[in-house]
A and B are shown apart, each in its own frame.
Chain A
């Protein structure tokens, strides 16, 4: 077991980091499904409602990503398990990319909404300012950024999950387990 110099166990993520990680996954998958479904709905009150929920979830993802970055600064992630240098680099790059996308995609959505002239009111309580003037060209551009960002995110998430499964099933190391609360608990009992 890897230990820091003061002897504290550091091979696992803490409960907060683990919770926020999986919560993020649940929210982005839910928002992908919601986002893909809502655009095909016929124009209706339901459609408006789904757009509003999509925006709330997106802002929540943004807030959680910000909290995770702050938390990570105070509670550093455990060092990676032994692996070739290129894999460590790939992991580090994809983690940075994931955080960047979790912040940028909600912002692009908010800006897109502003450019279409539709205000965002988080949870129906907190009105966000319309940062851009209503502008169709700008809106189309931002929608492209939003969709492109999500395609990139889904690709990186698949890579991220694939790599974690590879570590778990092929290399049989702790990479995935240290992000899984239940497996960790089982091992602790053993």
Chain B
């Protein structure tokens, strides 16, 4: 074999791996979840989104080409009651008739060491786009899948979520803690 420069070989290898994984990757939806906890009058209220799409390419060795994009169907929210779900789809909250999807697109992924990463990106909600950072920790489960878990805080008023009657943060806290758990198939 004609000796190719090591670096080139490595890069080629990485590219092949990256292409492979980009094709094979994707989030195991049934094992993954996007949940959140808000606080209403001092009481924690849990919820989650039933429907969302993810386009995740996560290669610790090639973070520059890695990405995490999400489209969340806001109307698919799972809250305490069908009544509160109907309320939050309304114009004062998500206004899903006009803004049906929340979009997150990563802009850069930073390795913080110890299988921890900061995913910086932009979150678009109700026509407003803001920068946010999602810190995640990655580990392997028993099946060899890679499990990325992280949580971050969204200030709902930054996105005009809960206006008018609901703008008072004593009634519903401004901070909503979003918890993400993404299960990716094993890196091959």
Contact = CB atoms under 8 A, between A and B. Distances in A.
Contacts of B166: 45
B79 interface: yes
Interface string A123-162: 0100100100010100000000000000000000000000
A45 B171 contact: yes
Interface residues of B, number: 21
A43 B86 CA distance: 9
Contacts of A118: 40, 43-46, 80
**DSSP majority for the B interface?**
mixed
B153 to A, nearest CB: 18
Contact of A119 (B44, B48, B86): B44
Interface residue tally of chain A, by bracket? Answer: 10 to 19
Interface in B15-68: 40-48
A116 B80 contact: yes
Interface of A: 43-45, 48-49, 52, 116-121, 124, 127, 130, 134, 136
B83 interface: yes
Given A43-B87, A44-B165, A45-B171, A117 B43 contact: no
A140 B101 CA distance: 29
Contact of B165 (A45, A52, A121, A136): A45
A186 B159 CA distance: 67
Interface of B: 40-48, 78-81, 83-84, 86-87, 165-166, 168, 171
Given A116-B80, A116-B81, A52 B87 contact: no
Given A43-B83, A45-B165, A45-B166, A117 B42 contact: no
B41 A43 contact: no
A48 B41 contact: yes
A151 B83 CA distance: 23
Contact of B171 (A48, A130, A136): A48
B42 A124 contact: yes
A48 B40 contact: yes
**Which among A45, A52, A127 has the highest number of chain B CB atoms within 10 Å?**
A45
A62 B83 CA distance: 28
Contacts of A130: 46
B168 A134 contact: no
Contact of B79 (A45, A117, A119, A121): A117
Contacts of B81: 116
B35 to A, nearest CB: 9
Contact of A121 (B42, B46, B87, B168): B42
A66 B79 CA distance: 33
B171 A43 contact: no
B45 A119 contact: yes
A127 B81 CA distance: 21
Contacts of A52: 41, 43
A46 to B, nearest CB: 10
Contact of A43 (B43, B47, B84): B84
Most central of B45, B80, B171 by chain A CB within 10 Å = B80
